[in-house]
Amino acid sequence: MPLPLGDAYDYAAPEGLPLEPGDFVKVPLGPRQAIGVVWDKPLQETESGVSDEKLKAVLHRLPAPPMPPENRRLVEWISNYTLAPPGAVLRMAMSVPAALEPEKPRIAYALSEPIPDIRMTAARERVLSLLKDIPSLATADIVRETGVSAGVVKGLVQADALQAVVLPPDNRFATPDPECPGPDLSDAQADAVDALREAGDGFAVTLLDGVTGAGKTEVYFEAIADALRRGKQALVLLPEIALSAQWLDRFEARFGARPAEWHSDLSQRQRRKTWRSIAEGEVRVVVGARSALFLPYPELGLIVVDEEHESAFKQEDGVAYHARDMAIVRAQIGAFPILLASATPSLETVTNAESGRYTRLCLPTRHGSASLPDIQLLDLREDPPERQSWISPTLRDALADTLASGSQSLLFLNRRGYAPLTLCRACGHRLQCPNCTAWLVEHRFSARLQCHHCGYAGRKPDACGVCETKDSFVACGPGVERLAEEVMNFLPDARLCIATSDSIHRPSEAAAFVAQVLEGDIDIIVGTQIVAKGHHFPNLTLVGVVDADLGLSGGDLRAAERTYQLLHQVSGRAGRDDKPGRVVLQTYHPDHPVMIALAEGDRDGFLAAEAVARHAGGWPPFGRLAALIVSGNDGDAVAQTARDLAHGAPTGERVRVLGPAPAPLALLRGRHRWRLLLKVDRGISIQDVLRDWLPRIPVPNPVRVHVDIDPHSFL
């Protein structure tokens, strides 16, 4: 059952109902009915203890293709690895229950022949004349076209003036054609494609390593074409916003049809149709966010993980899993190849490539005449911005020059809103979220103070709640809205666009934004990380990073690595065509290894230094980590449970427990949070350690202990 249970439930198979593993079945569950999957074997060693006579019977089998065995093995594997109950993982693989039920027939109405003599009204007249030229229409369409009520249509049917017809199933998916002509590949691209062909169609992990704009996408398109020729389905995982119109257009240009999309913005109907068409093998290529991994492909033969280093692939809540890592598991279960593509691969992946577990294919230069941009470190101590502004004179000049030359610029700051902090000038009181350990962020365009963690939003109070001074609040620090204000002051004629997840969070909005930039309607983009990746804007030549140091602080193990990746990606937006690009990084730490590596283009040197540091401390990928997040509404009970966990913690030379300590986000959505970190040597099964440790510690009911294996967030 797709419920957070440790084991499968037992049901009797009624006589005359042959059942196979993977079949979806309706079963009684307490007072209600629920859908489950027939599993091959018990998930735990224990017997259920229900005698055969007492077993309830399966009600019926659902008319849907059974869950493929590979998906069942994946559910078991992820449950074992993440310690999440198998039913919780299964729920992710059964996210569209409606797709398992029989499809409702689609009914439309056509004119009867001949039309009987009926009482005419203006509304009836409109319907009949609409249908004169159209074979048939569904009620909803008739209503929309004519403005009459559904009752009018019903009346016409009862009067025999209209006839019901059953429509064939919904228009389905077009099939991508691998034989559509692709571009002529460069030598480096052709070599990479040949190497992939030689590697064959068995399980292998290949890292496609190439600078931004090197042409990695065209290379993996050829791998997809080969999978299609072999009669296989292919899956491309993209981090959230990269589900951009540009990628889909390129796919369509190469294959003559769009892939099926899978992300949170689909309607229930699209979801159902896509799920079903994948299960029936009709959809051949899927592009999606991490949850696309759990779709019921009967013939999957290739996975591509683009931007494999992206932390968006890690899910923190519920079942804490990393979609890139689980995609590798899925490829191994299905015995087919998987490609990881990135210009800034993660240290995990690079380490695996260096040890020979993964094959690495390199595309060292940008495609065609484009060259990598020139990256300049701007020392903010020597070239400071004016008071209450954030753009240094050098970057101002660069923006003005770029505008004058008719090219586009991107100003990058990874902070939404107007100001990250608002405080009372009189007493220093800071406006904080009532539910979280977080400051409220002022959003001036929507005239709201928002919490970026829980979604709390409110108006700015007229007076300070502590000292009661009126109009005493001041904005501290910049967000993108404030930066845009600054640019408008010194370049009043520039056409600006603020691009953040507030303004762009649906694929259609992303497409509109891309079209505006490509058509030259925008001179300067002021944006957060959502504009850092994937986009290809030929006329964009200047990238200004307002605060390059932003991601470096805080106790995150991957802070340096992530800053490098993000700034490299955003730099890669400049000069992607024949006009050369320029990047200005504003920093207070021009001597930091991340800044030096960025300026010198020395990615591998930076990664090597990171590896040495992590190796010395036994940090991933050279050691294993699991985070325990203890949370609940009662702060004392949470703290006590965290201490109890520490008391009963495993000991040993190769096992260490750090903490307990209040989490940096000590309050989140009203819940108190404490953290512990378990760190073990690579050779030790961290799951076994946890399976021995956790059941020994009593956890009072309202307190929750969440396990996050390979954590990426330490908040």
**Residue ranges binding Zn ion (CB under 5 A):** 433, 435-436, 451, 453-454, 456
* Sign of the Cα pseudo-torsion (370, 371, 372, 374, in order): negative
- How is 581-600 classified by DSSP, letter by letter? -EEEEEES-TTSHHHHHHHH
Amino acid at 370: A
Shortest distance in whole angstroms from residue 215 CB to ligand ADP: 3
Give the binding range for ligand ADP (CB under 6 A) out of 100-108, 131-139, 165-173, 182-190. Answer: 182-190
With respect to ligand ADP, which residue has the nearer C-beta, 285 or 377? 285
Rounded CA separation 563/391 (Å):
20
Give the binding range for ligand ADP (CB under 6 A) out of 180-188, 524-532, 546-554, 651-659. Answer: 180-188
- CB contact at 8 A, 223 and 213: no
Among 82, 136, 189, 500, the residue binding ligand ADP under the rule CB under 6 A is: 189
Rounded CA separation 107/486 (Å):
58
CB atoms within 10 A of CB 696: 10
Give the binding range for ligand ADP (CB under 6 A) out of 98-106, 208-216, 617-625, 690-698. Answer: 208-216
With respect to ligand ADP, which residue has the nearer C-beta, 568 or 582? 568
Shortest distance in whole angstroms from residue 456 CB to Zn ion: 5
CB atoms within 10 A of CB 601: 16
Amino acid at 326: M
- Map residue 44 onto helix, strand or coil: coil
With respect to ligand ADP, which residue has the nearer C-beta, 4 or 256? 256
Give the binding range for ligand ADP (CB under 6 A) out of 122-130, 209-217, 511-519, 556-564. Answer: 209-217
Shortest distance in whole angstroms from residue 667 CB to Zn ion: 8
> Cα angle vertex 197, ends 193, 203, to 5°?
115
Shortest distance in whole angstroms from residue 528 CB to ligand ADP: 20
Shortest distance in whole angstroms from residue 671 CB to Zn ion: 11
With respect to ligand ADP, which residue has the nearer C-beta, 183 or 200? 183
- CB contact at 8 A, 699 and 642: no
214 binds, among ligand ADP, Zn ion, none (CB under 5 to 8 A by kind): ligand ADP
User: Any contact of residue 136 with ligand ADP (CB under 6 A)?
Assistant: no
Residue window 77-116: x/- pattern of binding to ligand ADP, with contact defined by CB under 6 A: ----------------------------------------
CA distances from 621 to 557, 617, 629, 710 (A): 11, 11, 21, 9
Among 96, 185, 596, 684, the residue binding ligand ADP under the rule CB under 6 A is: 185
Shortest distance in whole angstroms from residue 199 CB to ligand ADP: 20
User: Any contact of residue 215 with ligand ADP (CB under 6 A)?
Assistant: yes
**Residues numbered 348-407 forming contacts with ligand ADP, rule: CB under 6 A:** 367
Strand order, beta sheet including 655-668: 655-668, 671-681, 623-632, 704-709
435 binds, among Zn ion, ligand ADP, none (CB under 5 to 8 A by kind): Zn ion
11 binds, among Zn ion, ligand ADP, none (CB under 5 to 8 A by kind): none
With respect to Zn ion, which residue has the nearer C-beta, 433 or 626? 433
User: Any contact of residue 581 with ligand ADP (CB under 6 A)?
Assistant: no
Phi, then psi, of 110 in degrees rounded to 5: -125, 160
| Helices within 285-435 (DSSP H only) | 323-334, 347-354, 393-404
454 binds, among ligand ADP, Zn ion, none (CB under 5 to 8 A by kind): Zn ion
Phi, then psi, of 445 in degrees rounded to 5: -65, -35
Rounded CA separation 229/299 (Å):
13
User: Any contact of residue 183 with ligand ADP (CB under 6 A)?
Assistant: yes
216 binds, among Zn ion, ligand ADP, none (CB under 5 to 8 A by kind): ligand ADP
- CB burial string 51-70: b at 16+ within 10 A, e below: eeeeeeebeebbebbbbbeb
Rounded CA separation 592/406 (Å):
34
672 binds, among Zn ion, ligand ADP, none (CB under 5 to 8 A by kind): none
CA distances from 257 to 221, 303, 540 (A): 13, 19, 29
456 binds, among Zn ion, ligand ADP, none (CB under 5 to 8 A by kind): Zn ion
- CB burial string 99-130: b at 16+ within 10 A, e below: bbeeeeeeebbebeeeeeeeeeeebbebbbeb
With respect to ligand ADP, which residue has the nearer C-beta, 2 or 210? 210
CA distances from 45 to 49, 73, 688 (A): 12, 17, 16
User: Any contact of residue 213 with ligand ADP (CB under 6 A)?
Assistant: yes
Closest CA to 304 of 213, 178, 218, 191: 218
Among 139, 163, 186, 469, the residue binding ligand ADP under the rule CB under 6 A is: 186
With respect to ligand ADP, which residue has the nearer C-beta, 159 or 518? 518
- Map residue 151 onto helix, strand or coil: helix
If binding means CB under 6 A, how many residues of this protein chain bind ligand ADP? 15
User: Any contact of residue 539 with ligand ADP (CB under 6 A)?
Assistant: no
Give the binding range for ligand ADP (CB under 6 A) out of 115-123, 212-220, 609-617, 673-681. Answer: 212-220
Which residues of the chain form contacts with ligand ADP (CB under 6 A)?
183-186, 189, 210, 212-218, 367, 536
